[in-house]
Amino acid sequence: MKPQEILISSSKKFWSKWVLAFKVIPALIIIGGLKYLAYYLGYEVMELNSLFTTLVAGTIFLLGFLISGVLSDYKESEKLPSEISASIRTMLDDTYTLYKVNNLEKAKEFASYQRDFLDDIVRWFYKKHDTNYILEKIKNMNEYIWYFEKEKVQVNYIIKLKSEHNTLRKYILRIDTIRETNFVSSAYTIVEFMTFLISFGLIITHIEPFYFGMFLSLLVTFLIVYMFYLIKDLDNPFDYSEKGETGTEIRLDPIHDLQNELHAEDLE
């Protein structure tokens, strides 16, 4: 690997690891500034007590409830790119076999169609195609399968193609559901409200010495806001930007690897 490629790879890893922490920095600057103003102007009118610490503990418990809810979908989502890649690879292998054994020109066209479809899937992940477009592309595969049936192709190949075809549709619909459905929105609302209350409470709470109070305020704010951003990211693991997979999005490496493999085959 070239030094430039190593540097780019290291930069991507660093950014994906710390991107959420950088997103919290504006909130820390605002809270720190307001905390200093409250201290300077004498608006620290509340004393630290057990009721306030209970409020913080309750918010952290609620964050734990939210993250446990979104993790189940996230763990399932990690498998889907590999499953899609394997499904397309299986269909391509069977299609190539039909072309070689039966010398069907239609099989060669179907293989080309699947390669283009793989590129369309990547564009769909990046929201350059809508789900209906992808489902229509999957539906159009039936035309090739019907042709193979009419040509009396071996039944086991037809069965395998139909099975992978249906499985592919199931994966696309599952990803679309995960991408478009948010975890209990009312839970997010209460966490946002509690985060505001805690931040406001930390600003007006008198803690001696001042610098310890500032440190505690920023630390608690960082933990709560960071966890909130993390949960929001985990809730939609397929929210890709134009730059690709960053932060907590599911890696599409299996699909990219298959793309590169098929493009290399085209060049041979």
Query: How confident is the model over 68-126, as pLDDT tens digits?
Result: 878 887 888 889 999 999 999 999 998 888 888 777 788 889 999 999 999 999 999 98
Query: How confident is the model over 16-59, as pLDDT tens digits?
Result: 677 788 889 999 999 999 999 998 888 888 888 888 888 888 88
Q: Is the pLDDT of residue 267 over 50?
A: no
Both tokens assigned to 69: 């809810």
User: 212-216, 233-237, 238-242: which range is least confident on average?
Assistant: 238-242
Percent pLDDT > 90 in the chain is 27
The average pLDDT across 186-214 equals: 86
Q: 118: Cβ–Cβ under 8 A, 6 or more apart, which residues? A: 88, 255, 258, 259, 262
Domain ranges of the chain: 80-181
Query: How confident is the model over 152-198, as pLDDT tens digits?
Result: 878 888 888 899 999 999 999 999 988 887 766 777 788 888 888 89
Q: Is the pLDDT of residue 10 over 70?
A: no
